[in-house]
Amino acid sequence: MVSIRSVTSVHALALVLAAFPAQANALKSASPATIAVQRAVAAALPADDGTDLAFATRGFIATRADPLIRNAEGKPVWNLEAYRFVEGPAPDTVNPSLWRHIGLLSRHGLFAVADGVWQVRGFDVSNMTVIRGSTGWILIDPLTTRETAAAALELVNAQLGARPVSAVIYSHSHADHFGGVRGLIDDTDDQAKGLMVIAPAGFMEEAASENVMAGGAMGRRANYQFGSFLTPGAQGQMGSGIGAGIPAGEQTLIAPTDIIEKTGETRTVDGVKLEFQMVPGSEAPAEMNVFIAPASTFLSAEIATCSLHNILTPRGAKVRDARAWAGYLDEALRVYAPRSEAIVSSHCWPRFGRADLSAWLAGQRDNYRHLHDQTVRLMNRGETMDEIAEAVTPPVALADQWSNRGYYGTYRHNTKAIYQFYLGWYDAVPAHLDQLPPTPRAVKYVAAMGGGKKVLALARTAMAAGDYRWSSDLLNQLVFAEPTNPAARAALADSYEQQGYQAESAIWRNQFLSAAKDLREGPQTRPAAQSADLVAAIPTQLLLDSLATRYAPGKLGGRRLAVRLVMPERNEVATLDANEVVLIGRMGASDGAVDATVTAPRRALLGLLFLKLPLALLEAAGVRVEGDRAAVEALLGAIDPLPGGFAIAEP
Ligand SMILES: [Zn+2]
């Protein structure tokens, strides 16, 4: 999807769009069809008994005086009051169920949960859970960025009395649960080295896989999922289902010092007994729940929240195991709920009282299990991904529980994920085995339908009837066939926009509205940020494997070469072996001869390989090259720079 071609087409497009009437590219109001859908949704919503609001506000202590959290340069990275406009009945441009949901989710501040347990909520997409230890704070999940985590800790210390941080726990390998860690300590290596950091087995491998190996693609796709370039508003972003959005601050990572392997393992951390439930392969490949024994409080990390979650998140990730997920919830229901008075999770608001906890966990379990079992049942009768997505719908008994509704994950995309988990993307129809790629296929389809004008007319008829799923499909073919056709782009933007307005899922809304914005204004091509601190914390072998995915063998012209990397301060030696097809990076000195040896502190090497800083510059800063310097230059020249952004809604 990224190509020189897409860059040139962006320029051509700017000219086309500039000549197109402004009105055609403006945000539109809700269509009559959308208004009718919103009314039907409102009429069918479950009764609101006030429990969610009571739980979301219970124990409120205080919040931050200045709603803006800024970075060191003074730039805002988070606005606590971004959803202040959410009051009264839902506007026609927002699904009424989602409107209610963001009203609850956007509450922010420090909240007491149980004796010695608090949460900071609304300071980030995720929550930070705070436990009072004998000497300091034990913090579970230090938010996504340095700045938001520092603001959360500042609030804790101001309200509860200043104490040092005695331990940090990462519940899982997603960046919104570790990225803020350096905001919790004085940022010196000594402090970082002395900090106790507890994480589930597999944490570093999975954090590396998501954030570095597939980081370019996931970062760009996450822009769509979280609505990163949209503004909160009745025609804009309405949160992300389990939180508001992703803060624009700096992600950091300190490697764990203690790994939890098995369910039932315990640790006494700064005087507090904690017990762990391992839940790998559910919401994240490396994940655990935490039972805070003295406070009778269970942290369900991210496997039970205020929404149906994703079996396969639309930003892209490894597919998750819905059956295992339901199994872990059943285990939590049997083992931890009877010992708990409160359940907190790392998103959304807590639940209180034994009866509520048990009913809530059972409902969540049934939701994932129902999705799984009914998908597999239809799959084994020969139905395919798209057919199952249409056929399996949430039963009333589940949809009547607010937290089982699809504000984040949806039945439609989760059923497809479960099909994929077992059978993969292929539906066994040979016409789909070797289908044409999107652009040539679209060109042929549009021609077969009688040309662009006919397709546009058909799409407009579908839109007038409120059939936006069909109009978006037709117009998507037209835009892929004729990416600079301004009428096609404007119509597809309008069609996506109505789908976004109707969506109950905040992340569906974000994806439709982000695509509409890109079609109107041209695609965002700024590169996804890659945090230097996060990269630095990842084991060298994983980084070398990631580096190999940026190797362009053609640039070496068939030459083979080997370069040894020496990182004296870590006692690490690695060898990069490049041949006509692959770059093999392995730890240790290779047996064979090498063309050159590069000796440098690891951070300088990362600058060379990841940031692509010039070798000459780094040599001046102490990087030493022995042997064939030209070979080193040639190898560096064959490594692509970090990927930039790319077009999604068009070729
Ligand atoms: Zn999360």
pLDDT tens digits along 428-466: 999 999 999 999 999 999 999 999 999 999 999 999 999
Tell the residue number behind the tokens 């001046």, with chain if given: 620
**pLDDT at position 15:** 60
Most confident of 204-218, 380-394, 600-614, 632-646: 380-394
Q: Is the per-residue pLDDT at 3 higher than 90?
A: no
Distance 141 CA to ligand 1 centre (A): 9
**CA–CA gap between residue 366 and residue 327 (Å, rounded):** 10
Average pLDDT score over residue span 374-398: 97
The dihedral through the CA atoms of 216, 219, 225, 231 has a sign that is: negative
Give the phi and the psi of residue 567 in degrees, each rounded to 5. Answer: -120, 90
Look at the chain and count its residues.
Answer: 651
> Sign of the CA dihedral 545, 549, 555, 557?
positive
Q: Is the pLDDT of residue 212 over 90?
A: no
Q: Using the mean position of ligand 1's atoms as its centre, give its distance from the Cα of residue 143 in Å.
A: 9
CA of 118 to the centre of ligand 1 (A): 18
Return the higher-pLDDT residue of 319 and 212: 319
Q: What is the pLDDT of residue 354?
A: 94
Lowest mean pLDDT among 45-49, 113-117, 282-286, 608-612: 608-612
Query: What local confidence, expressed as pLDDT, does residue 24 receive?
Result: 80
Whole-number Å distance, alpha carbon 487 to ligand 1 midpoint, is 39
**What is the 579 CA–ligand 1 centroid distance (Å)?**
40
- Quote the ligand 1 centre to 226 CA distance (angstroms): 12
Three-state SS at 192: helix
Distance, in Å, from the CA atom of 458 to the CA atom of 36, rounded to the nearest integer, reads 22
283 Cα–ligand 1 center, Å: 9
Q: SS3 of 138, please?
A: strand
* Residue 464 CB coordination number (10 Å): 12
pLDDT of 537? 79
H-helix segments, 382-467: 385-391, 396-399, 411-423, 438-448, 452-464
- For the sheet with 288-292, list strands across it: 266-269, 272-278, 288-292, 297-299, 342-344, 351-352
CA of 507 to the centre of ligand 1 (A): 14
Query: According to the model, what pLDDT value does residue 209 have?
Result: 74
d(CA 282, CA 329): 10
User: 174 alpha carbon to ligand 1 midpoint, in Å?
Assistant: 6
Distance 398 CA to ligand 1 centre (A): 23
- How many whole angstroms from 91 Cα to the centroid of ligand 1? 28
CA-to-CA distance for 119 and 59, rounded, in angstroms?
A: 10
Residue 172 CA to ligand 1 center (angstroms) comes to 8
Distance 171 CA to ligand 1 centre (A): 9
Q: What is the pTM of this model?
A: 0.94
For 168-172, what is the mean pLDDT?
Answer: 98
Distance CA 372, CA 366 (A): 10
Cα of 155 to ligand 1 centre, how many Å?
Answer: 21
Please tell me the distance between residue 207's alpha carbon and the centre of ligand 1 in angstroms.
Answer: 13
pLDDT band at residue 19 using 50, 70 and 90 as cut-offs: low
Instruction: Compute the distance from residue 264 Cα to the ligand 1 centre, in Å.
Output: 23
Q: Is the pLDDT of residue 5 over 90?
A: no
Cα–Cα separations (whole angstroms), residue 455 to 21, 448, 474, 487, 545: 21, 10, 7, 11, 46
Give alpha helix (H) positions in 84-144: 96-105
**Residue 7: what pLDDT?**
41
Task: Tell how far the Cα of 302 is from the centroid of ligand 1, in angstroms.
Answer: 6
What is the Å distance from ligand 1's center to 357 Cα? 21
- Cα 242 to averaged position of ligand 1 atoms, centre (Å): 8
CA of 243 to the centre of ligand 1 (A): 9
In the block, residue with structure tokens 């290596």: 189
Residues 6+ apart with CB under 8 A from 395: 370
388 CA → ligand 1 middle, Å: 28
In this structure, what token pair is assigned to residue 58? 């219970």
Q: Taking residues 71-96, what's their average pLDDT?
A: 96
Q: How far apart (Å, rounded) are the C-alpha atoms in residues 298 and 583? A: 46
Q: 111 alpha carbon to ligand 1 midpoint, in Å? A: 19
Average of per-residue pLDDT across 525-533: 71
Which residues, at least 6 apart from 372, have a Cβ–Cβ distance to it below 8 Å? 322, 323, 326, 418
**Is residue 227 a contact partner of residue 245, using CB atoms and an 8 Å limit?**
yes
